[in-house]
Each structure stands twice: as C-alpha cells, then as structure tokens.
Amino acid sequence: MTTSDRPTVYVETYGCQMNASDAELMLGRLAECGYVAVGRPERADVILVNTCAIRDRAEQRVLGRLGELKRHMGRDAILGVTGCMGQRLGPALLARAAHVSLVVGPDGYRSLPELIDRARSGARATATTFDPDEHYRGIVPRRADGVRAWITVQRGCDYHCTYCIVPTTRGTERSRPFADVIAEARAVAEQGTTEIILLGQTVNSYAADGYDFADLLRAVGAVPGIRRVRFTSPHPNDFSERVIAAMAETPAVCEHVHLPMQSGSTRTLRRMRRRYTRDGYLACADRLRRAIPGLALTTDIIVGFPGETDEDFAETLDAVEQIGFDDAYTFKFSPRDGTPATRFPASDTIPEPVVSDRLERLIATVRRGSRERHLRLLGSRHEVLVERRARRGGAVMARTRDFKTVLLDGDASMLGRYHTVALTGTTGSTFTGVIVAPHGLAGTRTLPLAPAAAAG
C-alpha cells in the first residue's frame, strides 16, 4: 500500500511526553532512510505502536489496539511495538501477538531501520538492550508540534520509587551533553519555535559536563528567539537553591512547576521511597512560590498505595487543600510486576471500592481548589501563546505562561503568535478570553506532518 516509491510509516503514541518526544526521534531516524510519515495505519508499510507501561490500564489499552490494528494492516505491512511496554515484555509480546514482528525498547531506536528491514524480510526480532551512552546524538527529531518543541535532556531514572516501573523500562539516569541540548535549542529557535519544554524523568537532576540544571535553564533561556522555557517532571529533592535562582532570574522560564507529590502522608511517602517527607514537600512548594511570584503548581497523586490508611489519605487531602494546586493528575495505584511495592503483604492491599472512593474524593478536592483559584483570576490579563485550533470551530487554544488553557475566537493564522488577553470566563478548569493587545508574531514556520496520535 505504498503511496509512492518511498516506504511509509505510521507511529501511534501512548503515555507521557517523553514517549511523544521519542516518536519524533524515531520518525527523524526513519526519515534519514527515506521513510515518509503517514497519518493512518491503513496507508503504512510500517506501523509502530509506541507504548506506555506505567499502569496496567495503559498496557491493556495497547493490547486491545494491537488486535484492532491487525484488521487495518495492509497485506505486506509490518507491526512493531516500541517504548516502555516493549521493553518490559520483550519477546513475550512476540509470543502473545503473532502479527507483531518487532519489539524495540527506548534505547534501540537508532537501529530501527535495520530492524524494520529484517522484519520486512520475514524475521521477528526484539531489541531491548539498555545502552547508557545512547543520547540519540546526530538524529534530528521530526517534530509533530509546530509551536513548541520538546527537548529530551535526560533519559532513565535512578530514584527507584517503590511503585514505579520506569527504572526497569528506561534504565539508569543519563544526562545529554550540554552542548547538544543548546545546539538543539538554537536549531528549533532558528526555525521559529519560541517555546521549549525540557524533558527528563527527574529533569532537575540534570548533570553533564560540569553543568547542572540551573546552568541549563539559564543557557536555554538565553537562546535568541526563545520566549518560553518549561520543564517536566522535576523531583522535589532536586530543587537546589541554584535551580530556583535560575528559574527566578531567567525571564523566559515560565511561572509553572509540575511537582509530583504522590502522597501527603510521610508514612506513605516513606513506603513509596520518595525520599522526602510531607513537610519537605510543603517546604519545597513554599521555596518555589516565594522565589517566583505568581507560580502555578500542578502535581501527580497516587491513591490506594498498599497500606494507605484513612489517616494517610486524609493527610493527602489536607496537603492538597493547604498547597492549593492549580491542577492535579490523580491515579489509582497499579501494581507493576517486579517493583518493590508488589512485595508488601497482601493484607496491605486496599480494596477497590475504598480506592475508588478515595479517588473520587481527591478529584473533588482538587477541582474545588482549582476552581476557587481560577475564579479569582477572572478579569486579569495574561500573555498567551496560541498553540492549536480548538475542537470548537472558529476558536483557538492558547496558553498563559502559568499553563492555563484559554480559548479565544480565532483561526489557524494565529498559531504561534503571542497576545495579551483578558480572562472572561472559566469552566473551573479552562478559561475563555478576549484579546486586548496583540503581542506580535513569534516567527513563521511550516507545520510538519502530524504523525503521532498522542494518547494519555
């Protein structure tokens, strides 16, 4: 089903932003070998499902999707599984799905063209060896987003929280060479992109060539043309005074931190091996807020961790109220094979109805808090960057520096532009606004193909 004489590839991405960024790397690597990205599996010679292993639900969804894709595949097409689930399950995936011929983990994307060639000639293969030196140096990502650029600065994780599969699926922490990151930032700026999001599993522990994350923020923030710098996700323990000072003193660094809390109970945090206490987390949030006026804080929270008592959960609710998060991603604990949290005694398992009830109460508390904060913002003025067309026709979606979503009347010609808006309404989570002053053009660029259907 090749549409030209060049082979076609379709990548479907699940999970986090790191995965979406990896999809851009894969497409970059394959473009070097002549592949053309297509937006539908039916039209592809090669289908890659770029997977997440963080919770069981993410994996079940992919397994279902692999079944569906079987029906959409062209006769000579091949199907590969990449990403964290590929790394975790390896050859077991080949055994489970006969129509999958390729399984490639996060450190194997450089050899994708050769692996695909082998699969297209009838072989089935897995490539799941970790390579602690793999930074994908020299591969130019094919970016899906025309307005902002995600730049991976660190891969892997050394924290080993007891619930988390990531150290198993992405290996040990390694930071990319400083000069490579800056060169990539310059390259995207030269193409007209004005916002950069630095990515890493614990991004603020970045350390390479004698530079730390503070140096990185200052250097990326100084790249000509870069107006906004964000990063995700930091670990509370890695917010040194140097990093906080760099955030406060670098005008491009936006006033938003996504600061995973996981729990508001010191006892649970200890069992999660988060390496901070409730007070330590509160103090970190406080230091950030004092240094950066107007800072928005968002977080991740897990409920139903083994052994979480009603008192522990009450402490989480209390921390959410005390801190006043702008938003939170909330999850039910999902046991992952091989992680230390699966080795707590069975009696520590929290019954499903209790977990569901806690999740509901947590979501209600988060919503109430963020709604209150958002109502207070009505009428205020903000600089926004227009990111994409909204689902509703005749509207665009823009973001403030502190990461609020604002819907504006407008069209695609506004993409990539900055405006000053007044916030006129809120659903509680997102805003509507009107432009009070145009802020100028960020730069122009042609939007590339949209290859990665990101799914959370």
Which residue is nearest to ligand 5AD, using beta carbons?
300
Q: Are 39 and 12 in contact (CB under 8 A)?
A: no
53 binds ligand SF4 (CB under 6 A): yes
Rounded to the nearest whole angstrom, what is the least distance from the CB of residue 341 to ligand 5AD in the complex? 7
180 vs 357 by CB, closer to ligand 5AD: 357
**C-beta separation of 193 from 387 below 8 A:** no
Does 331 interact with ligand 5AD (rule: CB under 6 A)?
A: yes
H or E element in which residue 137 lies: none
CB 63 within 8 A of CB 33: no
Q: How far is the CB of 83 from ligand SF4 (least distance, A)?
A: 6
Chain centre distance of CA 192: 22
b/e 425-434 (16+ beta carbons within 10 angstroms → b): ebeeeebbbe
Residue 18 partner contact from ligand SF4, ligand 5AD, none using kind-dependent CB cut-offs of 5 to 8 Å = ligand SF4
Cβ closer to ligand SF4: 156 or 410?
Answer: 156
Q: What is the 3-state secondary structure (H, E, C) of 49-62?
A: EEECCCCHHHHHHH
Q: Give the footprint of ligand SF4 on residues 69-88 (CB under 6 A).
A: 83-84
Q: Exposed (0-12), middle (13-18) or buried (19+): which is 354, by Cβ within 10 Å? A: middle
Residue 297 binds ligand 5AD (CB under 6 A): no
Measured CA to CA in angstroms, residue 62 lies from 22, 46, 55, 107, 300 at distances of 17, 17, 11, 20, 23
Q: Which of 302, 317, 350, 359 binds ligand 5AD (CB under 6 A)?
A: 302
CB of 56 to ligand SF4, least distance (A): 12
What DSSP designation does 340 have? G
Decide if residue 16 touches ligand SF4 (CB under 6 A): yes
In whole angstroms, the minimum distance from the beta carbon of 419 to ligand SF4 comes to: 33
Q: Examine residue 260 and tell whether it contacts ligand 5AD (CB under 6 A).
A: yes
**Among positions 9, 11, 54, 366, the unique one binding ligand 5AD when judged by CB under 6 A:** 54
Interacting span for ligand 5AD (CB under 6 A) from 136-144, 208-216, 286-294, 331-339: 331-339
CA–CA separation, 384 vs 94, rounded Å?
46
260 binds, among ligand 5AD, ligand SF4, none (CB under 5 to 8 A by kind): ligand 5AD
Burial tier of 401 (Cβ tally within 10 Å: 0-12, 13-18, 19+): buried
**Which residue from 9, 11, 18, 189 is in contact with ligand SF4, where contact means CB under 6 A?**
18
164 interacts with ligand 5AD by CB under 6 A = yes
Residue 413 vs residues 104, 165, 403, 442: alpha-carbon distances, Å? 39, 42, 22, 12
Q: Using CB under 6 A, count the residues that bind ligand SF4.
A: 13
Q: Pick from ligand SF4, ligand 5AD, none: which does 302 bind, CB < 5 to 8 A by kind?
A: ligand 5AD
CB of 63 to ligand SF4, least distance (A): 15
Please compute, for residue 205, the number of CA atoms within 13 A of its CA located in the half-sphere on the CB side.
Answer: 18
Strand partners for 354: none
- Please tell me the distance from the alpha carbon of residue 403 to that of residue 184, in angstroms, as a whole number: 23
Largest Cα span, the chain? 64
- Candidate ranges 12-20, 179-187, 261-269, 328-336; the one touching ligand SF4 (CB under 6 A): 12-20
Nearer residue to ligand 5AD within complex by CB, 124 or 273 = 273
Judged by beta carbon distances under 5 to 8 A according to partner kind, the member of ligand 5AD, ligand SF4, none in contact with residue 30 is none
- Output b/e per residue, 280-314; b: 16+ Cβ within 10 A: ebbebbeebbebbeebbbbbebbbbbbebeeebbe
Q: How far is the CB of 22 from ligand SF4 (least distance, A)?
A: 8
Do 348 and 305 meet the contact criterion of CB atoms below 8 Å apart?
no
Size of the site for ligand 5AD (CB under 6 A): 12
Q: State yes or no: residue 259 binds ligand 5AD (CB under 6 A).
A: no
Pick what 298 binds: ligand SF4, ligand 5AD, none; C-beta below 5 to 8 Å, kind-dependent.
none
| Nearest distance from C-beta of residue 435 to ligand 5AD, angstroms | 35
Minimum separation from the CB atom of position 300 to ligand 5AD (A): 3
Respond yes or no on whether the N-terminal peptide bond of residue 233 is cis (omega within 30° of 0).
yes
Contact of residue 84 among ligand SF4, ligand 5AD, none (CB under 5-8 Å per partner type): ligand SF4
What CA–CA distance (Å, rounded) separates 328 from 36? 38
Bridge partners of residue 389, in order along the sequence:
396
For residue 107 the two structure tokens come to 């450190």
Which residues inside 150-179 make contact with ligand SF4, applying CB under 6 A?
165-166, 169-170
Q: Which residues bind ligand 5AD (CB under 6 A)?
A: 54-55, 163-164, 260, 262, 300, 302, 331, 333-334, 336
Q: Which residues bind ligand SF4 (CB under 6 A)?
A: 15-16, 18-19, 52-54, 83-84, 165-166, 169-170
